């Protein structure tokens, strides 16, 4: 014999039925508006906060702009002054020391040679990527004595090797050596020498490593 006793009261029994669809719809109808309202409140708060931040930034910009423009103007003026200083310094540094050159020439010319003409042609032009002074010297002279060709050669060698010429001269060439056509200089010789000087830069070229990136 099987005996089954149920001690659970009727009031404690749970319903075995599922949650009704009507209840779910009511619950969703309550929760969804609450969520949407919460999101709306958050968005409004975020917008107001962003607006305040933007207003603060605009106010700071209004206050900073005049000072910033002053700084930019001062930087431009400083650069202009520095550029002018560099140009003046470059112009000064690139000048030919004519006194030093003439003193050197005075000691280099043999006693048998007399210079009759000395011309310096100088100009400012592009030298690579920068500007510089380029110059040429054209000299004429006459030579007497027993060894006129050797004396002109001595002058040529002095212009190539004796100070201050190696630091100044880039190229030296005897353009002419001939007998004098003057009636009172029978047996004498005349010569023309042309010298190209090394370029003297007004500003130093900027190396690739030092260029601003």
- Are 85 and 108 part of one and the same domain? no
Verify that 164 and 149 share a domain, yes or no. yes
Q: Residue 153: is its pLDDT beyond 90?
A: yes
120 and 85 fall within a common domain:
no
Assess whether 74 and 107 both reside in one domain. no
Instruction: For residue 63, tell me if it sits in a domain.
Output: yes
Q: What tens digit of pLDDT does each residue of 84-122 get?
A: 888 888 888 888 888 899 999 999 999 999 999 999 999
User: Range with the lowest mean pLDDT among 36-45, 137-146, 153-162, 184-193?
Assistant: 36-45
* Last residue of one domain, picked from the residues 93, 118, 148: 93
CB 76 within 8 A of CB 180: no
Which residues lie closer than 8 Å to 96 by C-beta, 6 or more apart?
A: 120, 122, 133, 135, 168, 197, 200
Looking at the DSSP bridge assignments, the partners of residue 131 are 126
> Does one domain contain both 64 and 156?
no
Q: What is the mean pLDDT of residues 157-183?
A: 92
**Nearest alpha-carbon partner for 191 in 129, 127, 144:** 144
CATH of the domain at 194: 3.30.70
Range of the domain at 81: 20-93
In a domain, 7, yes or no: no
Residue 155 and residue 133 share a domain: yes
Q: How many domains does the chain have?
A: 2
Residue 134: what pLDDT?
94
Position 211 scores a pLDDT of 53
130 and 173 both lie in a single domain: yes
Q: Are residues 164 and 119 in the same domain?
A: yes
Q: By C-alpha distance, which of 103, 183, 192, 106 is closest to 143?
A: 192
Domain C-terminal end among 93, 127, 147: 93
């Amino acid at each position: 014999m099987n005996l089954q006793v149920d001690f659970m009261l009727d009031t404690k029994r749970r319903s075995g039925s599922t949650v009704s669809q009507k209840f779910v719809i009511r619950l969703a109808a309550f929760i969804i508006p609450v969520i949407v309202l919460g999101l709306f409140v958050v968005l409004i708060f975020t917008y107001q906060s962003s607006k305040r931040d933007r207003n603060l930034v605009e106010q700071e910009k209004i206050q900073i702009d005049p000072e910033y423009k002053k700084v930019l103007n001062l930087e431009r003026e400083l650069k202009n002054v520095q550029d002018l200083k560099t140009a003046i310094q470059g112009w000064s540094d690139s000048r030919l020391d004519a006194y030093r050159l003439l003193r050197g020439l005075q000691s280099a010319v043999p006693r048998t040679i007399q210079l009759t003409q000395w011309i310096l042609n100088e100009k400012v032009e592009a030298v690579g990527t920068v500007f510089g002074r380029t110059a040429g010297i054209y000299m004429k002279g006459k030579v007497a004595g027993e060894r006129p060709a050797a004396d002109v050669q001595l002058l040529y060698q002095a212009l190539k090797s004796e100070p201050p010429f190696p630091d100044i001269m880039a190229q030296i060439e005897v353009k002419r050596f001939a007998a004098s056509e003057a009636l009172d200089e029978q047996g004498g010789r005349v010569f023309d020498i042309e010298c190209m000087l090394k370029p003297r830069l007004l500003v130093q070229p900027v190396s690739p490593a030092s260029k601003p990136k």
